[in-house]
Structure 1
Amino acid sequence: MTQQTETAPDRIGIAEVIRFILELFAFVSLGIWGFLAWPGPWLNVVLCVATPLFAILLWALFRSPRAVVRLDAFGKALIEILIMGSAALAWLMLGQPIVAVVFGVAAAVSGVISGRKELR
């Protein structure tokens, strides 16, 4: 008779929920930036779609829990800083420095908390 071991399901805490919301906000922010920062009827629509899709692709390939390409902690942090920093910079370029600073600080704190959990 084989013995089955039960594994405890991964619990999703408040830090993970906040982190997910920050990721979604970053992707939406890049889409808003792509639409508002560029003139023209077609370029802004293309960038509104392409910019967040590129960020989502980077996140899925390198940073997500089921990433296709496994990176060390430094590589993961670099990808995260690139995406979250781009979103904060997008808000700054749109003339919203308060949103940029609040988002940047929240993303940095979330990244540090997540990084400490990963390094355990």
Structure 2
Amino acid sequence: MTNAPQSPVDWGEVPPPVDADRPRRRVSGWTVLRIVVCAFGLFSLAFWGYWSWILPWPGYLFAIGTPLFAAVVWYLFRSPRSPIDTDVVGKVIVETALVIAAGACWVSIGLPLVGLVFVLVAALSGVVAFRRETA
């Protein structure tokens, strides 16, 4: 008999407690690179939104709205917890579009080398992530 509270609806067995000595799931270098690429992509969109407009209020609006729109699109179609079930091809299309948009932001600002390096690193990160997801 355990002292764990149970819901009156839960008629199954009481799950064992979480083992505190069990090691946590390891975070690989590819996961860290993936997080850095996503964060830099959102920063790229925000920087473009701020830098590309002469008047301050459209710059602020685009600096907030552009990365917010990209994050919502990524969540809806590409996220592992996406509410919309998307196949692999759809996920590739969405991620490619977001990476190219972030790279194009740097090109439009006048720093094409930063955009090219970002696109190449994001492509490498995306290929590794898809290989791990589909394996």
Q: Report which of the two has the higher share of helix.
A: 1
Corresponding position of 2:64: 49
Q: How does 1:78-89 map to 2 (within 5 A)?
A: 78-89=93-104
1:90 to 98, 105, 123: 105
* 2:67 paired with 1:67: no
* Superimposed CA distance per residue, residues 30-74 of structure 1 (whole angstroms, 9 cap, x where no aligned partner): 000011112212111100110000001111111112111121111
C-alpha distance in 1, partners of 2:49/2:132? 33
* 2:47 paired with 1:32: yes
Q: What's the offset of the Cα at 1:10?
A: 4.5
Scaled by the length of structure 2, the TM-score of the pair is: 0.80
C-alpha distance in 2, partners of 1:63/1:10? 22
Give percent identity, aligned residues only: 35
Return 5+ residue gaps in structure 2 as ranges: 2-12
Which amino acid in 1 is paired with 2:66?
Answer: T
Q: What's the offset of the Cα at 1:4?
A: 5.2
C-alpha distance in 2, partners of 1:85/1:66? 23
Which amino acid in 2 is paired with 1:39?
Answer: I
* 2:115 paired with 1:106: no
Q: Which runs of 4+ in 1 moved over 4 A?
A: 1-6
C-alpha distance in 2, partners of 1:87/1:4? 45
Which amino acid in 2 is paired with 1:99?
Answer: V
Scaled by the length of structure 1, the TM-score of the pair is: 0.90
Q: Which deviates more, 90-99 or 64-73?
A: 64-73
Query: Measured at CA, do residues 58 and 10 of structure 1 come closer, stay the same or move farther in structure 2, by a change above 3 Å?
Result: farther
Flag the structure with more relative contact order, 1 or 2, with Cα contacts below 8 A and sequence separation at least 6. Answer: 1
